[in-house]
């Protein structure tokens, strides 16, 4: 028995040490209890946990009431106890949600246990590392980032690495979400130092964040770490890798990009064609064609035609045809299949190099393969023939061109004209002019000379004349009739012009074509030229890019093409002129801007090019309007890093977006910056800022800012108070709104009309109808145009007061019908509640059904009124039908409504239905916050204790504390049901919540403790009762004395009897006589202690009215 008592004493809820100090002294020692002689010094403590710790346990009871209740009675909390608390808290929070205040209390408990045990893992207890993990994840869920940092540093100090990977991953995710670049990088570095692995989702988010913030060195390190660690990539991760490769290629880090792709392929993934093209194009730009071939050889695939054609074009221009042909053979071995553009490039460059034979060989490949030839190879062939003096064959090429369905264009005819002029075949020139007329390329006047028109087309200042000079001959050539002819022109310039035309016709200059088409506003032809340019391996020049951007941004139909162009050539964006860049920014629709806007901003920030504030503001407005929250945060950070500030007229728009995105910190920073930048517009800035912040859900922050400004001596406009009132009313913080209202009335400030509409009903709801009427009268005078709304507000407010105002209802309804106004939620609720209160249920139910049919939810007040009438009329089934309809719609049931339904079922003897109804409410999450189950707890505590306990726990989880009567009921019922430990847990929780137990509760607990052999606990409970200023009952004293007598602990029994007599109770004769007989027997057995028992016995008898001498004589006889 003694060993069992010692085992229980470690977690005995009432084990403590008494001292003679008047102050409370807590100790975890389990030393024997020493009770002093009367008068007794008693301690008010029931356990040794510090009061702040108990308050934190009470705080988390809303999440895990049973667990919190259990540990309130413990002398100490061990690491294993903490693990149980954490696990149950985490489990409860998954259902109820993570609350900042509750997690903060959990953090205090965690720190107390950690300090108490000198760090987990260093004592006798072996602690599950999930303590750190659960605590860290809980802190992250409520944004307690600083505390997470402390937790992580503590783990580092204690050498505990288990669970830190998830915590640090979550911490990094929080920093990424909050656009805290340096802190996110710091967390990643710590994870690398400790060799921790983060989740793929976290890595992907961090990668994207680093790319968005243009931290390219970190992008390289992260991907390198992932690949070197052998981490696989899924489809989503491959897309991220594609983006990374593009970044590396744009930075010119081709070898690093090649390494990444090679490693990815080793991991079993096939790189996308986009990645391969990016790297191949970069090899082309660096003219490293050998590495290009070897790279695609490593990849085991052939390069794309875009890459090959670009490489061929560059090789021909830099290294000649032989190297180009060699390159073509090498890529053919990799599986590359040339297209018509590939051979066309070789045809053109062969003609350029004066090798028409090679040109015809390559051209024959186009014809023999059945490819669709375009005009550029034909033009090049004709130019090459003319250049080599083979003008006789040019007409054959033209005829084949026409036969193959390729229509000659102006460039083709210019080649013919220039070639024949160079060969002095002016008859062929006239023939070519006639061909142009037939082709509808030009129109020739009836008397217009074909040669003059040809010279005009070629922009030549020349005339062909007959040589009639009989002296020195001027003849240069002869016509078909043998007449000598000569050119009257500057022959050098003539030859230069025709040679230039032939040279420029050999290699198509797509950039010049694009610029020309844009000048002619022929955007369709320009777009086709862009597509053809990339197929032929050429790059877009800045001038052509500028011309395209300028032309496409003014045409709505071509904006998508402009978007694709910007995404393909982002490096050219900062080079656009300021005016054109502004046009580009303003031209995009919301759909296109969501993707292009952040790209433009990032490129501008990277290039450090000066950009106008209006352009940047337009860009940021588009991003805020179309982007996601994360994108907006990143772009906002980039723009503010560049010292950007919006114009004063745009400030309100930006504040709207910031509040919508919950970016309170950024909004306040913008406010401070705007005040500093516009010191002469402080009043306007304050008004705009406070209005947007209040309506955005940050009224408390706005109020703090106002107080700060007032302390600085700043004079605020009256509208500021209106903003605060509207904000507080929107956030349902009526008490704060009332403070502002009183302040306005004290300073005789008249609120605006829309504010009065809110203020008048609010004043009525707090029984200040006189103030409401005064404001109404003032509002009518100051805002006469809003008299209708003010009248409605006053009527609504009066109806909140109660009966006596229903005479106005008919008038209001008649006015609404006359004006053709439709009922809203407020009107319906007023009618439902009003008619139900007047017991006109037909009308009340009519409006209730009408409101429900419109998918409008009646207020709890209206539903209570209807249910109260139905229950009072004993129409239980109609009440249940109403409840089922609410369940089907997912509407919560208020405390009163649930009580009415349960009470109706209970009164009808349908107990199981009542329990099922309550269980259904919890299962379907139809219980509102601050639920009040006190009446039901008392009802169910008699015979259905488990249901009563469940209701008590639900109240705590929903943020309500049951009253003392409810606790008394469940404690007493637990005692009756022989659940003593449960009773003690509930009783102790009751005391910690500063609730006063009833005398009968103390009585039942003491009696049950004694019946279960826990006399010492019963005595301590009795002493605590006295210390609470209460007088124990006679039954309590008798129970403890009898229990001590049964345990043969006569000393304790006699002491308790002395206390009993001290409180004015007389013990029964049987107990007295038993103690006297037992003490006398004890005296005879030990003469050495005879003096002390005799003294005690004599005192006991004398206090009871007996003579010791007479008792002794009676005993002897």
Tell me which residue of 484, 489, 453, 490 sits closest to 470, measured CA to CA. 484
Is 779 or 308 the better-scoring residue by pLDDT? 308
Three-state DSSP class for residue 156: helix
> How much is the pLDDT for 26?
26
Specify the pLDDT at position 329. Answer: 92
pLDDT tens track for 1027-1086:
888 888 888 888 888 888 888 887 888 888 888 888 788 777 666 666 666 655 554 444
Q: Measured at the alpha carbon of residue 890, what is the angle toward residues 889 and 895, in degrees to the nearest 5?
A: 120
CA–CA separation, 534 and 641 (whole Å):
37
Cα dihedral across residues 957, 958, 963, 967: positive or negative: negative
Q: Higher-confidence residue: 714 or 511? A: 511
CB 279 within 8 A of CB 304: no
CA atoms within 13 A on the CB side of 31: 9
> Residue 330 and residue 325: Cα distance in Å, rounded?
9
Confidence of residue 140 (pLDDT cuts 50, 70, 90): confident
Confidence (pLDDT) at 348: 92
Residue 326: band (very low, low, confident or very high) from pLDDT cuts 50, 70, 90 = very high
Per-residue tokens: 980: 């003593």
pLDDT above 80: residue 277:
yes
Is the pLDDT assigned to residue 255 strictly greater than 70? Answer: yes
Q: Report the run of H or E that residue 1101 belongs to, with start and end.
A: helix 1091-1104
Q: What is the pLDDT of residue 13?
A: 31
pLDDT digits (tens, 9 = 90+) for 489-515: 788 888 888 888 888 888 999 999 999
Assess whether pLDDT exceeds 80 at residue 147.
yes
Torsion angles phi and psi, residue 1115, rounded to 5: -65, -40
> CB neighbours of 1037 closer than 8 A, spacing ≥ 6?
1022, 1056, 1057, 1059, 1060, 1063, 1065, 1067
Interaxial angle between packed helices 1034-1046 and 1069-1085, expressed in degrees from 0 to 180 and rounded to the nearest 10: 30
Reported confidence tier of residue 15, pLDDT bands at 50, 70, 90? very low
Q: Is the pLDDT of residue 1091 over 70?
A: no
Question: Which pLDDT belongs to residue 311?
Answer: 92
Give the model confidence (pLDDT) of 573-598 as tens digits: 878 887 788 788 777 766 667 778 78
Model pLDDT for residues 481-494, shown as the tens digit of each residue: 666 777 777 888 88
Q: What's the gap between Cα 546 and its chain centre?
A: 39
Q: Is the sign of the CA dihedral 1027, 1033, 1038, 1040 positive or negative?
A: negative
Q: What is the pLDDT of residue 327?
A: 92
pLDDT confidence of residue 323: 92
pLDDT at 733 > cutoff 50: yes
Three-state SS for 696-730 is: CCCHHHHHHHHHHHHHCCCCCCCHHHHHHHHHHHH
What is the reported pLDDT for 1028? 82
pLDDT (mean) for 81-95: 84
- Tell me the pLDDT band of 1090, cut-offs 50, 70 and 90: very low
- Specify whether the CB–CB gap between 954 and 983 falls below 8 A: no
Contacts of 863 (CB under 8 A, 6+ apart): 882, 886, 894, 897
For tokens 């000379």, the residue is 449
Average pLDDT value for residue range 734-743: 80
Q: Is the pLDDT at 136 greater than 60, yes or no?
A: yes
Q: How far apart are CA 669 and CA 922, in angstroms?
A: 44
Number of residues assigned to the chain: 1117
Catalogue the long-range contacts made by 1102-1111 (C-beta closer than 8 Å, 24 or more residues apart).
1103/1058, 1103/1061, 1104/1066, 1104/1067, 1104/1072, 1111/1076
Quick one: pLDDT band at residue 1103, thresholds 50, 70, 90?
Answer: low
Enter the pTM of the model.
Answer: 0.59
User: Residue 315: pLDDT band by 50, 70, 90 thresholds?
Assistant: very high
The mean-pLDDT minimum among 45-59, 777-791, 992-1006 falls in: 777-791
Largest CA distance in the chain: 189
Residue 631 has pLDDT above 50, yes or no: yes
The pLDDT-based confidence of 1092 (bands split at 50, 70, 90) is very low
The residue assigned the tokens 């395209």 is 548
Q: According to the model, what pLDDT value does residue 312 have?
A: 92
Averaging pLDDT over each range in 107-121, 421-435, 755-769, which range is the top one?
Answer: 421-435
CA pair distance 577, 610, nearest whole angstrom? 10
Calculate mean pLDDT across residues 167-195.
Answer: 82
Q: Give me 72's structure tokens.
A: 């309130």
Q: Inform me whether the pLDDT recorded for 39 exceeds 50.
A: no
Lowest-confidence range among 17-31, 534-548, 760-774? 17-31
Nearest to 532 by CA among 515, 500, 509, 550: 509
Q: 3-class SS at 577?
A: coil
pLDDT tens profile 802-859 = 544 554 556 556 655 665 656 777 777 777 776 776 677 777 777 777 887 777 888 7
Structure tokens given for 15:
């084990």
More confident residue, 1114 or 51: 51
**3-state DSSP assignment of residue 456:** helix
pLDDT score at 10 = 31
Q: How confident is the model at residue 685 (pLDDT cuts 50, 70, 90)?
A: confident
CA distance linking residue 702 with residue 668, whole number of Å:
9
Task: Assign residue 700 a region (left: φ > 0; alpha: ψ between -120 and 50; beta: otherwise).
Answer: alpha
* pLDDT reported for residue 454: 85
Is there a contact between 600 and 631 (Cβ–Cβ < 8 Å)? Answer: no
Is pLDDT larger for residue 226 or for residue 535? 535
Percent of all residues in the chain with a pLDDT value above 70, rounded to a whole number: 79
pLDDT of residue 24: 24
For residue 3, the model assigns a pLDDT of 37
Range of weakest confidence among 319-328, 600-609, 969-978: 600-609
Give the three-state DSSP class for 314. helix
CB-neighbour burial class of residue 211 (10 A; exposed 0-12, middle 13-18, buried 19+): buried
pLDDT at residue 123, as a whole number: 39
Average of per-residue pLDDT values in the chain: 76
pLDDT exceeds 70 at position 789: no
- C-alpha dihedral over 105, 110, 111, 115, to 10 degrees? 150
Residue 35 pLDDT class (50, 70, 90 cuts): very low
Which residues lie closer than 8 Å to 628 by C-beta, 6 or more apart? none
Residue 767's pLDDT band, with cuts at 50, 70 and 90, is: low
Spatial neighbors of 148 by CB under 8 A, at least 6 apart, are 136, 139, 140, 167, 170, 171, 174
Number of Cβ within 10 Å of residue 803's Cβ equals 9
Cα–Cα distance for residue pair 806/811, rounded to 1 Å: 10
- Residue 79: its H or E element: helix 79-96
Using CA atoms of 130, 136, 137, 139 in order, give the dihedral in degrees to the nearest 10. Answer: 140
Question: In 854-998, which residue ranges form alpha helices assigned H by DSSP?
Answer: 860-872, 876-889, 895-907, 911-923, 934-940, 945-957, 964-976, 980-992
* Per-residue pLDDT at 796: 61
**Block residue for tokens 């602990």:** 1049
pLDDT digits (tens, 9 = 90+) for 288-297: 889 889 988 8
Distance of CA 413 to the CA centre of its chain: 64
Alpha helices in 369-425 (DSSP H): 375-387, 394-403, 410-422
């Amino acid at each position: 028995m003694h060993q069992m008592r010692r085992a229980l004493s470690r977690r005995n809820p009432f084990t403590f040490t008494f001292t003679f100090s008047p102050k409370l002294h807590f100790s975890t020692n389990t030393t024997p209890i020493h009770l002093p002689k009367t008068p007794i010094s008693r301690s008010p403590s029931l356990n040794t946990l510090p009061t702040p710790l108990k308050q934190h346990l009470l705080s988390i009871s809303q999440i895990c009431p049973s667990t919190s209740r259990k540990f309130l009675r413990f002398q100490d909390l061990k690491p294993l106890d903490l693990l149980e608390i954490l696990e149950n808290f985490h489990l409860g929070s998954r259902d109820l949600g993570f609350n900042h205040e509750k997690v903060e209390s959990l953090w205090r408990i965690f720190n107390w246990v950690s300090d108490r045990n000198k760090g987990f893992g260093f004592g006798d207890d072996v602690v599950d590392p999930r303590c750190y993990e659960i605590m860290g994840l809980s802190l992250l869920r409520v944004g307690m980032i600083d505390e997470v940092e402390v937790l992580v540093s503590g783990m580092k100090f204690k050498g505990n690495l288990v669970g830190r990977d998830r915590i640090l991953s979550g911490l990094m995710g929080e920093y990424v979400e909050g656009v805290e670049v340096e802190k996110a990088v710091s967390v990643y570095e710590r994870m690398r130092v400790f060799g921790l692995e983060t989740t793929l989702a976290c890595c992907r988010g961090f990668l994207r964040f680093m790319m968005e913030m243009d931290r390219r060195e970190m992008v390289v390190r992260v991907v390198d770490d992932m690949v070197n660690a052998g981490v696989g990539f899924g489809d989503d991760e491959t897309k991220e890798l594609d983006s990374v490769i593009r970044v590396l290629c744009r930075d010119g880090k081709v070898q690093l990009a090649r390494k990444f792709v090679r490693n990815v392929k080793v991991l079993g993934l096939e790189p996308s064609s986009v990645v391969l093209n990016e790297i191949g194009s970069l090899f082309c730009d660096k003219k490293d064609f050998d590495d290009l071939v070897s790279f695609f050889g490593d990849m085991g695939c052939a390069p794309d035609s875009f890459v090959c054609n670009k490489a061929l074009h560059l090789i021909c221009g830099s290294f000649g045809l032989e190297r180009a042909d060699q390159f073509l053979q090498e890529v053919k071995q990799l599986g590359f299949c040339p297209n018509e553009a590939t051979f066309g490039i070789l045809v053109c460059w062969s003609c350029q190099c004066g090798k028409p034979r090679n040109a015809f060989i390559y051209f024959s490949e186009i014809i023999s393969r059945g490819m669709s030839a375009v005009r550029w190879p034909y033009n090049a062939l004709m130019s090459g023939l003319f250049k080599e003096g083979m003008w006789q064959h040019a007409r054959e090429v033209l005829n084949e061109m026409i036969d193959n369905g390729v229509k000659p264009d102006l460039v083709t005819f210019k080649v013919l004209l220039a070639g024949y002029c160079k060969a002095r075949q002016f008859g062929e020139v006239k023939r070519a002019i006639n061909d142009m007329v037939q082709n509808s390329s030009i129109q020739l006047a009836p008397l217009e000379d074909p040669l003059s028109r040809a010279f005009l087309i070629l922009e030549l200042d020349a005339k062909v004349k007959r040589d009639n000079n009989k002296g020195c001959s001027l003849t240069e050539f002869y016509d078909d009739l043998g007449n000598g002819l000569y050119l009257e022109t500057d022959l050098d310039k003539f030859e230069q012009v025709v040679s230039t035309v032939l040279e420029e016709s050999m290699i198509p200059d797509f950039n010049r074509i694009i610029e020309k088409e844009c000048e002619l506003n022929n955007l369709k032809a320009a777009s086709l030229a862009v597509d053809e340019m990339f197929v032929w391996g050429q790059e877009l020049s800045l001038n052509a890019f500028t011309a395209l951007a300028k032309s496409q941004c003014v045409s709505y139909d071509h904006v998508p093409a402009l978007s694709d162009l910007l995404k393909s050539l982002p490096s050219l964006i900062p080079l656009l002129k300021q005016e054109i860049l502004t046009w580009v920014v303003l031209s995009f629709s919301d759909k296109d801007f969501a993707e292009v806007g952040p790209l433009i901003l990032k490129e501008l920030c990277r290039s450090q090019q000066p950009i106008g504030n209006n352009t940047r503001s337009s860009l940021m407005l588009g991003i805020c309007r179309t982007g996601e929250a994360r994108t907006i945060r990143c772009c906002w950070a980039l723009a503010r890093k560049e010292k950007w500030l919006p114009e004063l007229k745009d400030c309100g728009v930006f504040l709207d977006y910031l509040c919508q995105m919950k970016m309170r910190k950024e909004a306040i920073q913008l406010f401070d910056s705007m005040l500093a930048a516009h010191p002469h517009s402080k009043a306007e800035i304050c008004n705009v800022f406070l209005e947007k912040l209040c309506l955005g859900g940050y009224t408390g922050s706005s109020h703090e800012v106002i107080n700060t400004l007032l302390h600085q001596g700043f004079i605020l406009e009256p509208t500021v108070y209106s903003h605060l009132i509207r904000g507080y009313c929107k956030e349902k913080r009526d008490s704060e709104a009332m403070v502002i209202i009183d302040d306005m009335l004290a300073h005789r400030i008249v609120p605006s009309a829309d504010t009065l509409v809110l203020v008048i009903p609010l004043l009525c709801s707090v029984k200040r109808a006189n103030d409401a009427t005064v404001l109404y009268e003032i509002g009518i005078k100051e805002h006469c145009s809003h008299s209708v709304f003010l009248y409605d507000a006053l009527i609504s407010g009066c109806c909140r007061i109660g009966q006596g105002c229903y005479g106005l209802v008919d008038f209001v309804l008649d006015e609404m019908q006359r004006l053709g106004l439709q009922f809203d939620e407020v009107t319906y609720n007023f009618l439902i509640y009003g008619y139900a209160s007047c017991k006109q249920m037909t009308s009340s139910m009519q409006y209730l059904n009408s409101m429900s049919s419109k998918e409008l939810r009646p207020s709890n007040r209206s539903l209570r009124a209807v249910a109260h009438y139905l229950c009072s009329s004993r129409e239980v089934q109609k009440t249940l039908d109403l409840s089922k309809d609410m369940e089907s719609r997912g509407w919560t049931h208020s405390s009163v409504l649930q009580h009415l339904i349960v009470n109706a079922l209970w009164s009808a003897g349908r107990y199981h239905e009542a329990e099922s109804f309550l269980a259904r409410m919890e299962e379907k999450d139809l219980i509102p916050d601050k639920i009040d189950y006190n009446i039901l707890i008392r009802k169910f505590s008699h015979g259905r204790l488990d249901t009563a306990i469940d209701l008590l726990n639900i109240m705590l989880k929903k943020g309500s504390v049951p009253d003392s009567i409810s606790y008394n009921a469940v404690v007493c019922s637990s005692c009756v049901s022989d659940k003593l430990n449960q009773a003690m847990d509930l009783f102790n929780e009751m005391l910690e919540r500063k609730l006063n137990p009833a005398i009968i509760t103390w009585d039942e607990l003491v009696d049950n403790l004694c019946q279960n052999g826990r006399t010492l606990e019963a005595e301590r409970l009795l002493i605590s009762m006295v210390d609470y200023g209460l007088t124990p009952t006679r039954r309590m004293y008798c129970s403890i004395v009898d229990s001590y007598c049964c345990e043969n602990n006569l000393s304790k029994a006699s002491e308790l009897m002395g206390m009993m007599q001290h409180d004015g109770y007389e013990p029964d004769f049987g107990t007295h006589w038993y103690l006297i007989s037992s003490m006398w027997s004890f005296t005879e057995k030990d003469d050495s202690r005879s003096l002390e028992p005799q003294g005690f016995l004599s005192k006991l008898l004398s206090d009871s009215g007996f003579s010791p001498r007479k008792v002794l004589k009676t005993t002897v006889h």
